[in-house]
Amino acid sequence: MTNTNRFMPAITAALLLQAVAAFTAEESIDAQLQSAVIQAVDRVAPSVVQIETVGGLERVEGQLLGAGPTTGLIVDPTGYIVSSTFNFASKPASILVRLPDGSRKPAKLVATDHARMLVLLKIEADKPLPVGEHFPRSQMRVGQWVVAVGKSFDGERPNLALGILSALDRVWGKAVQTDAAVSPNNYGGPLIDLEGRILGILAPLSPKAAGQIGGMEWYDSGIGFAVPLEDVLKALPRLKKGEDLHPGLAGITLKGENIYTNRPIIAACMPKCPATAAGLKAEDEIVEINGRAVGRAVEVNTEIGRLYAGDSVDVAVLRDGKRVNAKMQLAAKLEPFEHGFLGILPMRGGGRPGAAIRYVYPNSPAAAAGLKPGEVLVSLDGKPIANRFDLIAKIGLLEPGAEVRLAVSADGTERQVTAVLAAIPTDPPSQDFPPAETAAPVETAAQIGPVPLKIPEFTNEAWAYIPESYKSGASCGVVVWLHAPGGYDWNDLSAVWKPICDRYNFILLAPKSADPARWTPGESDFIDQLLDQLNSTYGVDRARIVVHGYQGGGSMAFLAALNNRDMIRAVAAVEAIMMGKLPQNEPTRRLAVYIAAAEKSQLGAMVKRIAEAFTKAKFPVTTINLGDTPRYLNEEEMMQLARWIDALDRI
């Protein structure tokens, strides 16, 4: 026997002992963690209540709401309880609170925090109620163990989900993030540490979507949010007085599309907004808010995002190299902004400075000023026009009634004209416009025709059709087609859209929902990533990206458009209602709306109210009457829609 063989039994035994010790240690750690979690939940449990609601709406913002108990947290021994607005979106007729001792108490809704999506309830307590211990915000650390606690299933024992604290200062400074499962099972309940101390109140928040159901796309996804209890307690005195709290709005739009890298330079201030009243102007660079230095656009959004309407904000900006201090009082809502309209379609492509005129709308300000196709607009109010996007941006800052001075070049001569801007027309175009490309594109190596697309983190499938005439340098509009329940057959869909795409130089993008029967709000991110993928490969015209859908696909189109205002310029919905909250019309983020429905559609009244709401908010809204019977667009209406999309870069 060799020396190695002689020692093998001893080595094997030693390895076995190490393995057993490691297993025992791991088992011990798991047991300790389990014990700590149970003790932490037991500690907070006396302040966690079950809430039952009776009556109310079945749907809110287009979403069917489930029924069943929800969760609340006692925050004051006299009977004040905080919960998530999601639990009360249905506007219930009555509210009952089940206390940990099993007793039930009627509750009244005292006030709503619309910024952090929380409600304050009040019950008449027979004795002082237990209040959990607060975990200071300053001590929160990314990576620490946390437990999401709810009381939806069992009136006796809370339900729980273990995770870590994965991020701080999320949703514009209003929340912390956890990977613990967060859903209606625990909305309104506490997020606690392993000592049972309360970090915050669980709520379905979203950095994109607003409204009572914002954030529902992240049910049990590993992305959940909690409003720090510290912030809740600061707002509690105002809520106790019955004061509803709203997000604080400044009316500022910042330059650039990447808020994480761009400097916070103001692109526009809404008319009659706090920023304008404070004297802030376009091109000001924000350097400080309430004494805190800011260097990126995201930091401005975060600092203002923490605040409520009515709060006063000290702002410092750099203007022409000099520091200017201002004070503004944030507002709950802003006066609607309406984009002005000159009355032209610009040519696309070409390397010359200025914006060449493709088409002049009859009876428009441009027509009254004598502008003609083929002429080139070279300056606006004395400032050079770089290209059509520059002119869109400059005119986009102005409302109807504004007078503009234009320098126009034609045949080597230049003249000056003035025009008073009008409102954007909403009638659909009745005929094709003249060709739009000014330069001959070159051959491309990119794939054309039908192209399958895939985003690694999504199981969804998607197809795109790239016009067979596509060449590098072309400027393609994009139609994102969102199917109705039941999915779609690619061959049938491409047969309808191929001639339209070839004629109008559109790319068709057709994602599929993971569940063919329905779209989920979280799939808005899938659509965003598909658009990014297309944009990186093909010549996408960012002035003509439209999300279009039928029935449930139309509702998803609304949500996708409202969630991605930086990229999507139009929504076209057929026989569909809106998901999400009505947005604010903004100078630098144009959005056109096309709504088609039948007179006798079950959704007819709701669709009409949606169109009226967009019109009241000063968006350009085109409405199409489909007759008596609900249906999709016919061939003539499809061509009309295509012309509407072709004209989205109107100025």
Q: What is the pLDDT of residues 374-430, one digit of tens each?
A: 999 999 999 999 999 999 999 999 999 999 999 999 988 999 999 999 999 999 999
Options 3.30.342.10, 3.40.50.300, 3.40.190.170, 3.40.50.1820; CATH of 449-646: 3.40.50.1820
Q: Could you state, in order of their start, the residue ranges of all structural domains in the chain?
A: 45-240, 252-329, 340-423, 449-646
Max Cα separation, the chain? 107
Angle (CA) 285-291-297 rounded to 5° is 35
Mean pLDDT of 67-86: 91
pTM above 0.85, yes or no: no
pLDDT score for 88:
84
What is the distance between the alpha carbons of residues 463 and 453, in angstroms, rounded to a whole number? 6
Q: Quote the crossing angle between the two packed helices 490-504 and 635-646, to the nearest 10°.
A: 50
Mean pLDDT of 106-134: 94
SS3 403: strand
Tell me the CATH class for 252-329. Answer: mainly beta
Provide the β-strand partners of residue 176.
Answer: 226
Among 7-21, 145-159, 267-281, 628-642, the least confident range: 7-21
Q: How far is CA 454 from CA 179, 250, 447, 477, in A?
A: 25, 39, 15, 21
What is the distance between the alpha carbons of residues 343 and 361, in angstroms, rounded to a whole number? 5
pLDDT score for 447:
83
Q: How many residues comprise the chain?
A: 651
What is the distance between the alpha carbons of residues 227 and 232, in angstroms, rounded to a whole number? 7
Q: How far is CA 539 from CA 323, 436, 505, in A?
A: 41, 15, 11
pLDDT score for 472:
67
Mean pLDDT of the chain, nearest integer: 88
Q: pLDDT confidence of 221, banded at 50, 70, 90?
A: low
Q: What tokens appear for 101 in the block?
A: 């001792």
Residue 190's closest CA among 221, 151, 220? 151
Residue 535's closest CA among 257, 217, 208? 257
**CATH code for the domain defined by 45-240:** 2.40.10.120
- Tell me whether domains 252-329 and 340-423 share a fold: yes
- The CATH-assigned architecture of domain 340-423 is Roll (2.30)
| Cβ-proximal residues to 534 (8 Å cutoff; 6+ apart), any chain | 453, 464, 478, 507, 509, 540
Residue 190's closest CA among 378, 7, 48? 48
Provide the β-strand partners of residue 245.
Answer: 113
| Cβ-proximal residues to 165 (8 Å cutoff; 6+ apart), any chain | 140, 141, 142, 143, 144, 146, 176, 177, 178, 199
Burial 291-322 (b: 16+ CB within 10 A, else e): eeebebbbbbbbbbbbbbbeeebebbbbeeee
What is the distance between the alpha carbons of residues 303 and 294, in angstroms, rounded to a whole number? 9
Q: What is the pLDDT of residues 498-557, one digit of tens each?
A: 999 999 999 999 999 999 999 988 899 999 999 999 998 888 999 999 999 999 999 999
Q: What tokens appear for 555 in the block?
A: 């509702």
Q: What is the pLDDT of residues 269-320, one digit of tens each?
A: 988 899 999 999 999 999 999 999 999 999 999 999 999 999 999 999 999 9
Query: Cβ(229)–Cβ(201) under 8 Å?
Result: yes
> How many other C-beta atoms can be found within 10 angstroms of the C-beta atom of residue 29?
10
Listed in sequence order, the DSSP H helices in 307-364 are none
